[in-house]
Amino acid sequence: MSYTKSSLNFKEYKNYFIKSLALVNEEEVSNLIKVIINKYEERKTIFVIGNGGSAANASHFAQDLAKGTRKNINIKKRIRALSLTDNVAFITALGNDDGYDTIFEQQLRTFANNGDILIAISGSGNSPNIIKAVEWANENKIFTVGITGYNGGRLKQICKQSVHIELNDMATVESIHSYALHYIIISLMKIINNSPNFGL
């Protein structure tokens, strides 16, 4: 599935995007929802990472998890989620002093505990800082989820669970990732609203 940018109009891209949504594995998405609920019940923290457009998706998803799933502002038990793309001072210090490939791994070493979950978003699945973080997480009992495009790269091979979009188009892969992540938030909100004990 592909398109020629020089001849593309909006209607054609809309149709292309809709057809590309068929590449989403619904079972993989449902499995990620189950993992998030389980980690919530265990009071574990969800860390989300990514670069570029995937960093934006990571930041947005973590915010939606932590705030967007609240039943009300007084809820006590909440989904604990943080994007490791957001602390600019820490990221730039790590990148400058230790190398850019360490920026997520070193944050995990500081904040993560056994049983937490790392959700790594990467269109290519081959970003060195993503792979380094996931390898460290796997070695330290952090459950790992890869959200990928293209052929999944190294990330799809080493993560415990994945949501994979088999598409060689970075922009559309990132858009589909955002679409799937928003669906996950909406689903979590429904679960919360239909459970009287959720958040107590």
Average pLDDT on 62-71 reads 93
* CATH code for position 169: 3.40.50.10490
Cα distance between residue 12 and residue 8, in whole Å = 6
| 149 is a domain residue | yes
The pLDDT, as a whole number, for residue 198 is 57
| 185 is a domain residue | yes
Q: How many domains does the chain have?
A: 1
* Strand locations in 58-135 (E): 80-83, 117-122
Residue 28 token pair: 């993989």
Q: Whole domain around residue 57: which residue ranges?
A: 24-193
| 124 is a domain residue | yes
| 163 is a domain residue | yes
pLDDT for 122-146, tens place per residue?
A: 999 999 999 999 999 999 999 999 9
* pTM recorded for the entire structure: 0.94
| 50 is a domain residue | yes
pLDDT for 7-41, tens place per residue?
A: 679 999 999 999 999 999 999 999 999 999 999 99
Q: List 146's β-bridge partners, or say none.
A: 120, 162
| 75 is a domain residue | yes
- Binned at pLDDT 50, 70 and 90, residue 197 comes out as low
